[in-house]
Amino acid sequence: MIVGIDLGTTNSLIAYFTEEGPKIIPNRLGKNLTPSVVSVDEEGNVYVGETARERMSLYPDSVAMAFKRSMGTEREYHLSGHRFKPEELSSMVLRALKEDAESYLGEEITEAVISVPAYFDDKRRKATKRAGELAGLKVERMISEPTAAAVAYGLYDKTKDTRFLVFDLGGGTFDVSILELYHNILEVRAVAGDNYLGGEDFTEVMMKLFLQKSGIQRQNLSEKDQVRLYRQAEKAKRAISDKTEVTLSFLYREETKEEKITYQEYEEACEDLLMKIREPVKRSLADAGLKLSDIDELLLIGGATRLSIVRDFLIRLFRKFPDTKLNPDETVALGAAVQAAMKERREEVKEVILTDVCSFTLGTEVVVEYEEGKFEDGRFCPIIERNTVIPASHTERLYTVRDNQDKVRVRVLQGESRFARNNLYLGEVSVEVPKAPKGQEAVDVTYTYDINSLLEVEVTVVSTGAKQKLIIKGADNQMTEEEIANRMEELSYLKIQPRDYEENRLVLLRAERMYEEALGDRRKKLDRYITAFEAALKRGDHDEIMDAREELNVILEEEDD
171 binds ligand AMP (CB under 6 A): yes
Closest CA to 156 of 184, 179, 188: 184
Among 307, 326, 366, 408, binds ligand AMP (CB under 6 A): 307
Among 5, 155, 300, 304, binds ligand AMP (CB under 6 A): 304
Residue 68 known to be catalytic:
yes
Report the nearest approach of ligand AMP to the CB of residue 12 (Å): 9
Closest-by-Cβ residue to ligand AMP is 199
Is 543 among the catalytic positions?
Answer: no
The answer to whether 10 contacts ligand AMP (rule: CB under 6 A) is yes
User: Taking CB under 6 A as the rule, does residue 238 contact ligand AMP?
Assistant: yes
**Closest-CA residue to 462 (of 444, 447, 446):** 444
Part in contact with ligand AMP (CB under 6 A); list of ranges 84-92, 149-157, 232-240, 458-466: 232-240
CA distance readout (Å), 84 to 37, 364, 519, 530: 13, 37, 37, 33
Q: Which residues contact 406 (CB under 8 A, 6 or more apart)?
A: 432, 433, 434, 435
The CA distance from 54 to 41, in Å, is: 13
Among 145, 200, 441, 458, binds ligand AMP (CB under 6 A): 200
For this structure, is 168 an active site residue?
yes
Q: Cβ of residue 5: shortest distance to ligand AMP, in angstroms?
A: 14
Bond from prior residue into 280 cis (ω within 30 degrees of 0): no
Counting every residue written for the chain, the total comes to: 561
Which residues lie closer than 8 Å to 165 by C-beta, 6 or more apart?
A: 176, 177, 178, 179, 281, 284, 295, 297, 298, 299, 318
d(CA 116, CA 94): 14
Residues 329-358 that bind ligand AMP (CB under 6 A): 329
Residue 234 within binding range of ligand AMP, rule CB under 6 A: yes
Q: Are 84 and 64 in contact (CB under 8 A)?
A: yes
Task: Report how far apart, in Å, the C-alpha atoms of 62 and of each of 49, 511, 554 are.
Answer: 13, 18, 28
CB of 532 to ligand AMP, least distance (A): 34
The yes-or-no answer on residue 343 being catalytic is no
Cβ distance to ligand AMP smaller for residue 239 or 535: 239
**Helix count (H) and strand count (E) of the chain?**
14, 29
Q: Does 11 bind ligand AMP (CB under 6 A)?
A: yes
- Give the span between the Cα atoms of 103 and 351, in whole angstroms: 29
Which residue stretch of 89-97, 194-202, 383-391, 419-427 sits at the interface with ligand AMP (rule: CB under 6 A)?
194-202
The active-site residue out of 50, 54, 68, 180 is 68
For residue 87, which of 116, 60, 111 has the smallest C-alpha distance? 116
The residue among 168 and 297 lying less far from ligand AMP, judged by its C-beta, is 168
Residues of span 358-397 touching ligand AMP by CB under 6 A: none
* Least distance between ligand AMP and beta carbon 395 (Å): 41
Which of 100, 168, 259, 330 is catalytic? The answer is 168
Among 170, 193, 280, 335, binds ligand AMP (CB under 6 A): 170
User: How many of the chain's residues bind ligand AMP (CB under 6 A)?
Assistant: 19
| Closest approach of ligand AMP to the CB of residue 313, in Å | 13
Interface with ligand AMP includes 303 (CB under 6 A)? yes
Contacts of 253 (CB under 8 A, 6+ apart): none
Minimum distance of ligand AMP from residue 100's CB (angstroms): 17
List, in sequence order, the alpha helices (H) in 289-330: 308-318
Residue 199 touches ligand AMP, criterion: CB under 6 A: yes
Closest alpha carbon to 288 in 390, 358, 191: 191
What minimum distance in Å lies between the beta carbon of 512 and ligand AMP?
24
4, 8, 49, 132: which one binds ligand AMP (CB under 6 A): 8
Distance from C-alpha of 515 to C-alpha of 529, rounded to nearest angstrom: 11
Give the C-alpha separation, 288 to 280, whole Å: 12
Where does this chain touch ligand AMP (CB under 6 A) — which range of 21-29, 302-310, 465-473, 542-550? 302-310
Residue from the set 306, 379, 487, 513 that interacts with ligand AMP by CB under 6 A: 306
Fill in the amino acid letter for 33: L
35 touching ligand AMP, by CB under 6 A: no
Find the helix or strand (DSSP H, E) in which 269 lies.
helix 263-269
Cβ-count burial of 238 within 10 angstroms (0-12 exposed, 13-18 middle, 19+ buried)? Answer: middle
Least distance to ligand AMP from the beta carbon of 301, Å?
A: 7
**Which residues are known to be catalytic?**
6, 68, 145, 168
- Where does this chain bind ligand AMP (CB under 6 A)? 8-11, 170-171, 198-200, 203, 234, 237-238, 302-304, 306-307, 329
